[in-house]
Amino acid sequence: MKILLMADAGIKKAAFKKAAQQIKGTVEVIVEEITEYGMEALQVIETEGADAVPVPAGMLKHTDVDVLVGSITTPLSKKILDRFPNLRIIGLCRAGIENIDMEEVDRRGIVVVNGLGRNAEAVSDMTMAIMLSELRNVARSYKDLTTDPNSWRKEWPSTPYLPHMADCKVGIFGFGMIGRLVAKKCAGFGSELLICDPFVDDEIIKGFGYKSVSKEDLFKESDIITIHARFVEETKGIVGRKEIESMKPTAYFINTARAGLIDNDALLEALVNHKIGGAALDVFPEEPLPADSLWRKLDNCTVTAHMAGGVMAARDYAAKLVVGAVLATIKGEKVPQLVTKDTVDKDEYKTWAEEAEKEFF
């Protein structure tokens, strides 16, 4: 059996070679790279489809592979899939799957695994960074010292109530990939964790040693509230005026998820009128922030340019994550990255996976 790992301008060959170290069996591992185009192809694939970019020559050298792990810009249209008759599993190092002709994949019974959670570490780190920056006036002091040569300012609006992380109740709204990592990182600081996620069993939350609470209690009781729910039709504006107005006057509001989850007017009003302790935001209703945006002018809000997920380490991690998820899938585990949940139960795939397990492990 053979597995092809396709690097590109975003995820380099070295990252795939490292990721391939997880494969311990006799399967032949091939690493190729897309050289025909750069990362601009992602936009083309997303808007015009995978056939709008040239077929990478490196891919076509190995059309007899059983497993293909694509990077961010690997095109997997019907035209390309037609060249790969033995393909059983496709891994893709991004959460979106616009690169793949899913109808064709379903017709052929090919299993698809994506890169869900590939930047969870990056976003959770950034959440901690802007949270702590706001709590301790880090960005504010830096800006002050570097723009005013005479300043040595130590007092800020939040100075009278600056907390210890260890004394804070941190409310996590959305206990998915990122929410869980933020919870773990806050627990490391000694904070008490309150969790609100109606789709996660209370027992699971208790198992982590955290407390499952209602949205109402989360907003009323927390000293720091951090948003990690997904933005879908049902969660649009789910954090409304009522929730924001119920926050403690010293509480902090952190959002690295999506602005659409929040009533941003209510949040802005609370900050302008100093009704809450402060906020730290990586996401905004309008991006880039307009020049005259009020979000740029607040003295109690740390702002960053929607950059929580964008670190190089997250790209390399994607290769490791997806190769690992492919291996787990071959073993029969239903990992969160498994997109085609039904295909793995089909007899033809199962027979192949039994054989594959002998060669991949």
Which residues are known catalytic residues? 258, 287, 306
- Under 8 Å between Cβ of 268 and 300: no
Q: Is the CB of 233 or the CB of 345 nearer to ligand NAD?
A: 233
Considering the complex, what minimum distance in angstroms separates the CB of residue 360 from ligand NAD? 27
Q: Is the CB of 20 or the CB of 259 nearer to ligand NAD?
A: 259
Considering the complex, what minimum distance in angstroms separates the CB of residue 93 from ligand NAD? 14
Pinpoint the alpha helices (H) of the chain.
13-19, 41-48, 57-60, 78-81, 102-108, 120-135, 138-147, 177-188, 202-207, 215-221, 241-245, 264-272, 312-330, 347-360
Q: Distance between CA 4 and CA 13 in Å, rounded? A: 11
Considering the complex, what minimum distance in angstroms separates the CB of residue 127 from ligand NAD? 9
Considering the complex, what minimum distance in angstroms separates the CB of residue 239 from ligand NAD? 9
Q: Distance between CA 51 and CA 249 in Å, rounded? A: 54
- Residue 250's identity, in one-letter code, is T
Q: Distance between CA 349 and CA 22 in Å, rounded? A: 22
Q: Is the CB of 254 or the CB of 283 nearer to ligand NAD?
A: 283
Considering the complex, what minimum distance in angstroms separates the CB of residue 6 from ligand NAD? 23
Considering the complex, what minimum distance in angstroms separates the CB of residue 102 from ligand NAD? 19
SS3 state at 39: coil
- Under 8 Å between Cβ of 20 and 12: no
Q: Is the CB of 226 or the CB of 329 nearer to ligand NAD?
A: 226
Q: Which residues contact 209 (CB under 8 A, 6 or more apart)?
A: 187, 193
Q: Is the CB of 10 or the CB of 174 nearer to ligand NAD?
A: 174
- Encode burial over 40-49: b for 16+ CB neighbours within 10 A, e otherwise: ebbeebeeee
Task: Enumerate binding residues for ligand NAD (CB under 6 A).
Answer: 117, 119-120, 123, 173-179, 196-200, 228-231, 235, 238, 256-258, 282-283, 306, 308-309
Q: Is the CB of 59 or the CB of 257 nearer to ligand NAD?
A: 257
Give the full edge-to-edge strand order of the sheet including 2-7.
28-33, 2-7, 67-70, 89-92, 111-113
Q: Nearest to ligand NAD by Cβ — which residue?
A: 176
Q: Is the CB of 230 or the CB of 241 nearer to ligand NAD?
A: 230
Q: What is the DSSP string of 310-354?
A: --HHHHHHHHHHHHHHHHHHHTT---TTB--TTGGGSHHHHHHHH
Task: Report the DSSP pairing between strands 111-113 and 192-196.
Answer: unpaired
Considering the complex, what minimum distance in angstroms separates the CB of residue 117 from ligand NAD? 6
- Under 8 Å between Cβ of 121 and 317: yes
Q: Which residues contact 219 (CB under 8 A, 6 or more apart)?
A: 171, 225, 239, 243, 244, 246, 247
